[in-house]
């Protein structure tokens, strides 16, 4: 959470730096647009900075136009947005952005600046809450003998809820959700509101991976002197981003309890080496299993979906597969001789 707080503060400082630079050069009317996710109140801050440089009020308008881009599909999301949010004090400034985006033929919401800034924080916070909810349900399924996949299908089939972001797993990570959830909590705090719901969302997320690892530890008799293979290191497939990646939590726990890690990822290895230089990085996914006491699927790369599980298990010390992303079926894994466990089922 401390790291998330630093990210929010950095965003505010970076916005101020850019605003100061813009303020030095405005000579004729300009619309100044905040595109990135920024702390609420950033629009007012930008306006104050421009005025402090002697820029006359009639020479600019500040507009909030938050982006809603997913890592790994930013170009598609830019060209096919679900909606375009425009926050402005003056209708004339908003209209200029409406004209700019007209060819995309996307729904547009025009609102005030503070509301536009809150929409981005609120959207990501809600999605994070949805993931934490289904992960909390997965814990109940494990205790009750239920199957979280069936539970999620039943819940998501309700049109009021929807099917997206109901995939139980190791928890959310990356650059956006942690930062924006923390930003939402801090914004509420500054305004005098204790957003206890979102603090619980964060706690559930932080517990999820550790609970998963505790289950594995119980299965194999602890991590001391054990070799654990980890398939996937990035926080999600199709990126080398490891910010708040659950693989890092796993590696830290295994090493701190006297175990050894051998890991593979198609693109993120160099980034993880900066954090954990001493673990074994292997050249292929099958090498992850060599002499291992257990293998964990941590990132659902497509190449992992097509694995020959018989081959994967053949060189293991003990065929234990912990599927953190529910990629394989229990029947598929058990046919290959694995002791199989996953999120949200006994």
Instruction: Tell me, yes or no, whether 130 and 98 share the same domain.
Output: no
Name the domain boundary from 111, 135, 165.
111
Averaged pLDDT of the chain: 93
State how far the Cα of 297 lies from the Cα of 247, in Å rounded to an integer: 9
pLDDT of residue 40: 85
pLDDT bucket at 337, cuts 50 / 70 / 90:
very high
Task: Give the CATH number of the domain where residue 243 resides.
Answer: 3.40.50.720
**Looking at the structure, do residues 152 and 76 belong to the same domain, yes or no?**
no
Range(s) of the domain holding residue 291: 208-342
DSSP class of residue 328 equals S
- 196 and 218 part of one domain: no
Phi, psi (5° rounding) for residue 240? -100, 15
Q: Please spell the DSSP secondary structure of 185-197, one letter per residue.
A: HHHHHHTT---HH
Residue 131 is predicted with a pLDDT of 97
Whether the pLDDT of residue 2 is over 80: the answer is: no
For residues 183 and 176, the answer to whether their CB atoms sit within 8 Å is no
Residue 3 pLDDT = 46
Alpha helices in 157-195 (DSSP H): 176-190
In the predicted structure, residue 5 carries a pLDDT above the cut 70: no
pLDDT of 7 above 50 = no
- Which one of the listed residues 4, 141, 176, 227 is annotated catalytic? 176
Read off the pTM. 0.88
Q: Active-site residue 4, yes or no? A: no
pLDDT at site 38:
82
- Domain boundary at 202, 227, 261, which? 202
For residue 8, the model assigns a pLDDT of 45
């Amino acid at each position: 959470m401390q790291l998330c707080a630093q990210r929010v503060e950095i965003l505010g400082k970076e916005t101020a730096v850019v605003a100061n630079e813009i303020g030095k050069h405005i000579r004729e009317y300009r619309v100044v647009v905040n595109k990135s996710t920024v702390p609420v109140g950033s629009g007012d801050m930008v306006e104050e900075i421009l005025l402090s440089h002697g820029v006359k009020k009639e020479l600019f308008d500040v507009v909030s136009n938050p982006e809603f881009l997913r890592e790994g599909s930013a170009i598609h999301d830019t060209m096919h947005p679900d909606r375009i949010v425009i926050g402005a004090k003056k209708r004339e400034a908003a209209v200029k952005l409406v004209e700019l985006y007209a060819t995309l033929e996307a729904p547009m919401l025009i609102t005030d600046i503070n509301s536009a800034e809150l929409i981005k924080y609120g959207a990501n916070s809600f999605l994070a809450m949805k993931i934490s909810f289904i992960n909390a349900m997965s814990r109940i399924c494990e205790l009750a003998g239920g199957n979280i996949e069936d539970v999620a299908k039943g819940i998501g089939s309700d049109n009021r809820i929807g099917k997206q972001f109901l995939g139980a797993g190791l928890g959310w990570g990356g650059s956006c959700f942690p930062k924006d959830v923390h930003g939402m909590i801090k914004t509420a705090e500054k305004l005098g509101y204790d957003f206890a719901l979102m603090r619980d969302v964060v706690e559930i997320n932080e517990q999820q991976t550790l609970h998963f690892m505790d289950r594995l530890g119980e299965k194999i008799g602890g991590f001391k002197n054990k070799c654990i293979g980890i398939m996937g290191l990035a926080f999600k497939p199709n990126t080398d981003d490891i910010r708040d990646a659950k693989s890092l939590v796993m590696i830290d726990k295994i090493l701190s309890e006297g175990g050894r890690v051998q890991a593979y990822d198609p693109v993120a290895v160099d980034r993880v080496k900066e954090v954990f230089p001493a673990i074994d990085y292997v050249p292929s996914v099958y090498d992850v299993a060599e002499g291992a006491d257990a293998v964990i699927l941590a990132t659902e790369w497509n190449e992992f979906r097509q694995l020959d599980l018989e081959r994967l298990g053949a060189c293991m010390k003990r065929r234990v597969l912990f599927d953190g992303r529910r990629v394989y079926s229990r029947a598929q894994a058990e046919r290959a001789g694995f002791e199989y466990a996953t999120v949200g089922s006994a």
